[in-house]
């Protein structure tokens, strides 16, 4: 560059600079640590009960496990889309705890890789544990109970692990066995999830296995939901998120 080359013009500083993003590992709340332990305990009890009463047809039990895991992928997509698309940090109750982390993740996708186990999985444990507790109430006399137990266990395990799989998808060099899980498409793949963080930033919302993303995007599932919600409420999708982009 010679002396006469004009310098790149300095961008004007916005009147309201965005808040500094967290760059250090988040300290989990006591409720998140407790939720992880409660989830582990309830899973062990349910697993014992399911194993003890495994009288169902192996094919049915396998189908129940598959359905539960697919269900967890759908649940992850719906929740992720919801918090990415609607509301803002000012939304009552949900704003600070749920919406902000999803928006911060778009500004700083590597932030999630700096979280420890409880900080990563505490919130999903809080959501999944009550479902596991309810499953304990299923009567042992029902012939369908073993299949239901397996379905709920698989669903809740998938929901619990969603953020862990999402975190792995952002790690530059995950453990070899994690990379094997990713290559086998048993958990969310790195390249697959990278599409969520690329324009138009509105696809591949499912972050457990990512199995449903292709089908949901092909049928315009989330765009249709957005049109319905806009027609009913007048709210515009990604209004807050676009303003940050």
Residues of this chain that bind Zn ion (CB under 5 A)? 84
- CA–CA dist 196, 113 (Å, integer): 17
Nearer to Zn ion, 129 or 204 (CB): 204
Nearer to Zn ion, 84 or 226 (CB): 84
As measured in angstroms, the least distance from the Cβ of 219 to Zn ion is: 20
Nearest to 44 by CA among 165, 162, 153: 153
Structure tokens at 74: 């759908």
Helix (H, G, I), strand (E, B) or coil at 4: coil
Q: What is the dihedral of CA 8, 10, 14, 15, to 10 degrees?
A: -160
Nearer to Zn ion, 41 or 97 (CB): 97
As measured in angstroms, the least distance from the Cβ of 99 to Zn ion is: 11
As measured in angstroms, the least distance from the Cβ of 204 to Zn ion is: 9
Q: Which residue has the tokens 């959501």?
A: 127
As measured in angstroms, the least distance from the Cβ of 67 to Zn ion is: 25
Question: Which residue's CB atom is positioned nearest to Zn ion?
Answer: 84
CB atoms within 10 A of CB 90: 9
- CA–CA dist 131, 41 (Å, integer): 13
Nearer to Zn ion, 73 or 84 (CB): 84
Structure tokens at 155: 């669903």
Nearer to Zn ion, 32 or 84 (CB): 84
As measured in angstroms, the least distance from the Cβ of 83 to Zn ion is: 8
């Amino acid at each position: 560059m010679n002396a006469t080359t004009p310098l790149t013009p300095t961008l004007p500083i916005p009147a309201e600079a965005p808040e500094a993003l967290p760059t250090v590992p988040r300290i989990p709340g006591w409720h998140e640590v407790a939720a992880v332990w409660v989830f582990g305990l309830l899973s062990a009890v349910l697993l014992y009960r399911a194993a003890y009463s495994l009288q169902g047809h192996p094919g049915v039990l396998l189908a129940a496990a598959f359905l539960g895991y697919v269900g967890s992928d759908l649940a992850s997509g719906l929740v992720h889309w919801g918090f990415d698309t609607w509301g803002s940090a000012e939304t009552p109750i949900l704003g600070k705890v749920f919406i902000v982390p999803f928006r911060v993740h778009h500004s700083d996708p590597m932030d999630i890789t700096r979280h420890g186990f409880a900080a990563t999985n505490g919130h999903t444990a809080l959501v999944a544990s009550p479902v596991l507790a309810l499953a304990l109430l299923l009567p042992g006399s029902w012939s369908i109970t073993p299949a239901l137990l397996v379905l709920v266990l698989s669903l809740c395990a998938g929901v619990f692990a969603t953020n862990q799989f999402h975190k792995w998808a952002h790690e530059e060099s995950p453990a070899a066995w994690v990379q094997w899980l990713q290559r086998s498409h048993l958990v969310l793949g790195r390249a697959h999830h990278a599409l969520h963080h690329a324009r138009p930033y509105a696809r591949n919302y499912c972050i457990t296995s990512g199995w449903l993303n292709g089908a949901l995007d092909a049928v315009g599932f989330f765009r249709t939901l957005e049109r319905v919600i806009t027609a009913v409420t007048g709210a515009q999708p990604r209004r807050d998120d676009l303003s940050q982009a």
